[in-house]
Amino acid sequence: MQVKGSKEIRAGVLDSGLCTGCGACVSLCPYYATHKGKTVMHFSCTREEGRCHAHCPRAEVNLDRISSQFFGEEYSASPFGSYINIHSARAGDKAGVSGFQTAGTVSALIKFALEKGYIDSAVLTKNEEGFGVPFVIDNPGDVEKASGSRYSVSPTVKGVNDAINSGRRKIGAVGTPCQTLAVAQLRGNPLKQEGFTDPIALSIGLFCTWALTASDFTALMKSMGDISTIRKLDIPPPPASSMEIETGNKSYIIPLDDIRKLIPEACSYCHDMTAEFADISVGVYEGKTKQNIAIIRTERGRKIFEEAVNAGYLETEKIPEEAIAPLAAASMNKKKKGLGKLAGANLINSETGHTVIRMKKSTLESILKGGASCC
Amino acid sequence: MIDPFNIIITGVGGQGNVLAARMLGNTLAKAGYYVTIGETFGASQRGGSVMSHLRISKESAWSPQIPKGKAHLIIALEPVESLRVLAAYGNRDVKIVSNTRPIYPVGVICGDLAYPSLPDLNSAVAQLCDDARFINATEEAVALGHPILSNVIMVGAAAGLGLLPIDDEAFKSVISENVPESKIEINMKAYRKGKEMVGDPVKF
Amino acid sequence: MLLSKSEGKEFLLMGNQAIARGALEAGVSVAAGYPGTPSSEIIENLASVAPEADLYVEWSVNEKVSLEVAAAGSFAGLRSLCVMKQNGVNVASDFLLHLVLSGTRGGMVLIPCDDPGAISSVNEGESRYFARLMEIPLLEPGDFQEAKDMTKWAFSLSEELGNVVMLRSVTRLSHASGNVKLGALNRTKPAAKFNFSGNLLDAKTGPVITAPVPFRHTQQQGKLKKAAALFETSPFNRYEGPENPELLIITSSACYLYSREALRVLDTEKRAGILKLGTTWPLPPELLKKHLAAAEKVLIVEEVLPFLEENIKILAMENIDSIGKIKFFGKNDGTLPSVNEMNPDYVIKAISSILNIPYTGMPEEYEKSGQILSFTKSPNRELTFCPGCPHRASYWSINRALTLNGENGFVCGDIGCYTMAILPAGFGTIKTAHSMGSGTGVASGFGKLKSFGMNQPVVSVCGDSTFFHAGMPALVNAVHNNSDMLLVILDNSGTAMTGFQPHPGIPSGAAGNELPSVDIEGICRSIGAKTFTADPFNVAETEKKVLEIIENERGPRVLIMRQGCALSPEKKGKKKYNVSVDSNICKGSDCGCNRLCTRVFRCPGLVCDSATGKAMIDEIICAGCGVCADICPSGAIKRSEVAL
């Protein structure tokens, strides 16, 4: 793996519209900062190798190497990446979580992992004046300070870095696919720092089709009134194609086409819908608002998940094959589109210049040649 | 004395460069010479180099800028400045008296630029001039009680070369006009120390 | 020395001291100016003897007002002096245009000190053209004795003509020293009275006005003709050389010294002659005609633009029948450059090529090795803010806030120490830099370009002295036109760049006398700008404030960053904090810091240990402001308050 420095990050990622705003480079050093969902760089750093580059999910990401590291196998052309099994899940009675619009699987898992000591802290994301900001919790009771679906880009991995900087070494991290990918990279100690131990004890990934440019989305919300009075913010499953917002005394329906305009360019390069490098990936079960789909990927993920079920923190159901099919199709489609766009821009396995992804050529070809589903 | 005799006093802002030029100039003016001093100190307080050109003549006033390659004596209050001045005004026969105490440019302080070691600098200077004398004027000045006396030591050293018609009494009367009475003796001590440190007068 | 009664005694004087002495010998009563290198020492010297010599000396708010203040002295019958650097004449020129039409009473001299080569300037403007444009006499001393003598003469010349006289100095006279023989002091204290009840057209007793313009203008041109006639016999114009020189050099000011030196160096004084002019506008035509007629080749040596050259060529053309054909050398034909200051080498090269005399200043080989050795062994001394300078901290916060905002915001700057933010010293934060107060005027314009799709945040910076000088009208403009911009006033309580002269915001005058001060914040408020204040040494808070003002406020806004100059008498040599670095915590050049303090913040008090890359404090240089403790990302820099 080729680690470079901030010069390459600035030119290849920040200034090229590839930055996802995941926050992986923030809180590592004084040069990167995040403000209103956007990652910026103060002054310049002359180091030729930096963790910023090593952790960035948009610079020299070797999918085969990371996949081998976590799953013992190369990156495959399958829709969900490597996994053990898939369930339908939701928070159980014991969890005592009351997410207002989700099935609560993630909250329940984090709460359980904290209570049982699988993790000693967790990095979650909350809403601050309309912007998603990461925060670190040590107490299970604080899980509910994280709010539900937010849609806008947030620098969650900054929170992971903050947790590491403060000495925490059994961290539970919850993030979108790009954030999960950054976390996966930092777990590999790419700069070979002495005395390094993997600080992440549980990585939970969230399904993601796209995020919204934070400042634009917040501006849109603010145009509808006091954002602190928003009670509901949701995109109902198809065939509805709109976002529903309920504030103090009004409700709004915004056509999804208008919302899509706020999707940053960076998301169009994304190839991962289901957070393939997490221990457990959780997302929407289309058509079932009070259920999640949970993809169990690693042994430690499986252990925690099963114990949470046994302890009544989670309720699961077997999920029929046909219920997974639309998710698989959407995921494959995203892979094909994202990798296709990256390949088109010469950002995969590039010998000269910036490279986002390194992967086996045959795997890439197989994904790109695969049958397309509709978007 | 070569007429006009061209002296460059070089250093860094805050070293008392202008004062040294004034002391030397006034001493020679008292001895009946035309003295012209040209000064470049625009950026002195902001870390820049400072340079004074002195032209000494029995005949008339000369211009405040010495022509390229025509210095006869360079007094460097800061060692690398001697090299910078040599590159513009030097020649094989120029005499140099230089303080050895560096004042690092901000680029060196910050670790971006290298500052040469004294032997390294000595050999570079030796490639451009035959008679360069390095004295630790700052150290002596500190021993005498104040680092600012180093410029008086350097003036004394310049006098000690025997190239200039500098009369010790004339120097004393200049000092007396510029410092409180209680400080006259310490300044004269510094001046004599410089004369002593620079070694034998230049042989012709 | 300034008030020495030893007439005839010789002193080694700086040009600016010689000028001040000349003014005292002339019996000057009023002196006003605005600080600017290389002119400032003239007013400073006069201020230092003001009470003793019965002078009124002031640092005015700007050059135009200083000229008006000096003019009042003249109108009341006193001898008055006005001093400024070259670009100051541009500021004063509007009043000057009218003053020259109304005429003056007591002798009045305007002294601009030009800075050829821009040694301490951001321009190399020529004030001489103003003399021609304004139709007033122009004097240019050729050495230090003349600097004194011509200043003295300028006052009586002004009185004889009834108009202001310009005496132009340059850096190489103002900031150089030479032998000067003192003359007698004039220590009378004349009574001031402004007479206005006489006839409207009476220059001595009527109102001082410019109307009727054609009448006054005719009068003014008459004064200029009279001046030309007087100049024919002036001792400040003289010829040195053979009767019929192979080459005639015509020159003025410091260029006279370079020219004379060049002839001596080339041992060619018998072949070439120098016509040294002390009165360069209007030219004395008969004197010029006489010398031009005796030469076929003429070299004109001057700084910076071909002012003399053009005027002499016109005169030569008008008199071609009596003078004959002349081959001119100078700036127009490229013999000499029309940028940068002159020096003996330029003139030597010009003469050696015209007269075909070989000359080697420095052997080629020596020059080459000198350049290589100097380049490799003499590390460059870049300009930087002083240790403890508030500007470094201010730009740190402004730069970071603009970066965080991420909308390509930028800073418009102007003149002062803070201009150095075009350099790494200020993190390259300034993106436009022109004249006094212009950053704010330019920002006022940028702030109106929203309708053309420009959404970049617009910030200007302006020092406290500069704010009074020319920033205020720009702010009024921004407020009146509702421009979307932020003016940051970098208030360090003094005119720091030029040596800490007072300004209207300071409760003292040029001579250290107590004066009422004018409140900057109050002015901004009353102009109608939303006004905020910050202490730039509190970097976190200042950065936050700048960001908030940029993002959450609209329209014309002012943020006053208040912190005294590190060189101010109140602060110099007094540390607020003892600062130290814990090398166990310092990350040095490792990933996670990469020498943020020594490499980016770059305070001269922070030393990089070349072996470890870690930071250290130079106790001697550190001013103890403690700001670096706040910018260290690892908390390795510690500060503790110095017990008083």
What are C297-347's pLDDT values in tens digits? 999 999 999 999 999 999 999 999 999 999 999 999 999 999 999 999 999
What mean pLDDT is reported for chain C?
96
Q: Are residues C257 and C216 in the same domain?
A: no
Give me A340's structure tokens: 């296709």
A216 shares contact with chain C (CB less than 8 Å): no
Contact C395/A at CB under 8 A: no
- The torsion defined by the Cα of B179, B181, B183 and B188, in degrees rounded to 10, comes to 90
Domain shared by C350 and C499, yes or no:
no
Distance from the Cα of A31 to chain C's closest Cα (Å) equals: 8
Domain extent listing, chain A: 6-213+263-369, 214-260
User: Is the CB of B62 less than 8 angstroms away from the CB of C257?
Assistant: yes
Q: What is the C-alpha separation between C453 and B158, in angstroms, rounded?
A: 66
Percentage of residues in chain C with pLDDT exceeding 70?
A: 100
Interchain proximity C594–A28, CB inside 8 Å? no
C595–chain A nearest CA distance, Å: 9
| A40 → closest Cβ in C403, C427, C596 | C403
Residue C381: inside a domain, yes or no? no
Interface of C with B in 325-364 (CB under 8 A): 343-345, 348, 360-363
Task: Judge: C591–A49 Cβ closer than 8 Å, yes or no.
Answer: yes
Residues 29-88 of C with CB under 8 A from A: none
C513 & C597 share domain: no
Tens of pLDDT along C532-560? Answer: 999 999 999 999 999 999 999 999 999 99
Give B62's contacts in chain C (Cβ within 8 Å): 257, 261
What residues have CB less than 8 Å from C449, skipping those under 6 apart?
none
Question: Are the Cβ atoms of B121 and C377 closer than 8 angstroms?
Answer: yes
Asked if A46's CB is within 8 angstroms of C404's CB, the reply is no
Do C65 and C201 fall within a single domain? yes
Residue C116 sits in which domain range? 10-231
C380 near B CB under 8 A? yes
Residues of A in contact with C600 (CB under 8 A): 43
Q: Report the gap between the CA of C80 and the closest CA in chain B (Å).
A: 28
Q: Is C343 on the interface with A (CB under 8 A)?
A: no
Q: Are residues C420 and C474 in the same domain?
A: yes
Q: What is the pLDDT of residues C582-639, one digit of tens each?
A: 999 999 999 999 999 999 999 999 999 988 999 999 988 899 999 999 999 999 999 9
pLDDT at B204: 63
Chains touching chain C through at least 3 C-beta pairs below 8 angstroms are: A, B
Sorting pLDDT into bands at 50, 70 and 90, what band is A182?
A: very high
Whether the predicted pLDDT of A236 surpasses 80: no
Which pLDDT does position B73 carry in this prediction?
98
Q: Which residue of C has its CA nearest to A53?
A: C591
Q: C382 vs chain B: nearest CA distance in angstroms?
A: 7
Nearest chain B residue to C257 by CA distance is: B63
Among candidate residues C502, C535, C562, the one where a domain is terminated: C562
- Cα separation of B95 and B72, whole Å? 6
Same domain, C546 and C583: no
What are chain B's domains? 5-139 (3.40.920.10)
Taking CB atoms and an 8 Å limit, are C406 and A33 in contact across chains? Answer: no
What's the domain count of chain C? 4
What confidence tens digit (pLDDT) does each residue in C34-85 have? 999 999 999 999 999 999 999 999 999 999 999 999 999 999 999 999 999 9
Q: Which residues contact A324 (CB under 8 A, 6 or more apart)?
A: A86, A293
Q: At what angle do helices A156-165 and A177-187 cross, to 10 degrees?
A: 30
Task: Grade residue B43 by pLDDT with cuts at 50, 70 and 90.
Answer: low
Q: What pLDDT, on the 0 to 100 scale, is given for residue A374?
A: 38
Give the CATH number for residue C207. 3.40.50.970
By CA distance, what is C373's nearest residue in B?
A: B124
Looking up tokens 């819908």 gives A273
Shared-domain flag, residues C476 and C610: no
In a domain, C207, yes or no: yes
CB contacts of A28 in chain C (<8 Å) are 591-592
- Picking from A29, A35, A50, the nearest residue to C404 by CB comes out as A35
- The verdict on C620 touching B (C-beta cutoff 8 Å) is no
pLDDT at C499: 84
Q: Are residues C111 and C138 in the same domain?
A: yes
Structural contact between residues C319 and C289, judged by C-beta atoms closer than 8 angstroms: yes
> Number of Cβ pairs closer than 8 Å across A and C?
44
Torsion angle defined by CA atoms of residues A253, A256, A257 and A263, in that order, rounded to the nearest 10 degrees: 120
Residues of C (409-428) whose Cβ lies below 8 Å from A: 427
Q: d(Cα A201, Cα A163) in Å, to the nearest integer?
A: 12
Give per-residue pLDDT as tens, A114-126. 999 999 999 999 8
Residues 38-67 in C contacting B (C-alpha not used; CB under 8 Å): 38
C532 and C611 within one domain: no
Report the SS3 class of residue C248: strand
Residues of C in contact with A165 (CB under 8 A): none
Mutate to test the interface with A, among C594, C630, C634 (most CBs of A within 10 A): C594
Helix (H/G/I), strand (E/B), else coil: C152: helix
Q: Which long-range contacts (CB under 8 A, 24 or more apart) does A94-97 make?
A: A94/A311, A94/A312, A94/A313, A95/A312, A95/A313, A95/A314, A97/A143, A97/A144
pLDDT, tens digit (0-9, with 9 covering 90-100), for A42-93 = 999 999 999 999 999 999 999 999 999 999 999 998 999 999 999 999 999 8
**C612 interfaces chain B, CB cutoff of 8 Å:** no
* Contact with chain A for residue C592, Cβ under 8 A: yes
> Considering C231, C259, C275, which residue would you say is the last residue of a domain?
C231
Q: Which pLDDT score, from 0 to 100, does residue B45 have?
A: 59
Residue A347 vs residue A259, higher pLDDT: A347
- The predicted complex's ipTM stands at 0.95
C549 and C605 belong to one structural domain: no
Cross-chain Cβ contact C361/B108 below 8 Å? no
**Phi, psi (degrees; rounded to nearest 5) at C69:** -65, -45
Q: Answer positive or negative: Cα dihedral of A350, A354, A355, A356.
A: negative
Residues C10, B29: C-beta atoms closer than 8 Å: yes
Q: Integer distance in angstroms from the first to the last C-alpha of chain B?
A: 11
Tell me whether residues B46 and C260 touch, CB distance under 8 A: no
- Average of per-residue pLDDT across A163-187: 96
Question: Token pair for residue C304?
Answer: 């910076």
Kindly state whether residues C553 and C594 are assigned to the same domain. no
Query: What is the residue-wise DSSP string for C625-642?
Result: --HHHHH-TTS-EEEEEP
* B25 vs C12, C344, C606: nearest CB: C12
* Domain endpoint, select from C183, C215, C231: C231
Of A336, A291, A279, A330, the C-alpha closest to A84 is A279
Search chain A and give the residue with CA nearest C595. A45
Residues C292 and C260 in one domain: yes
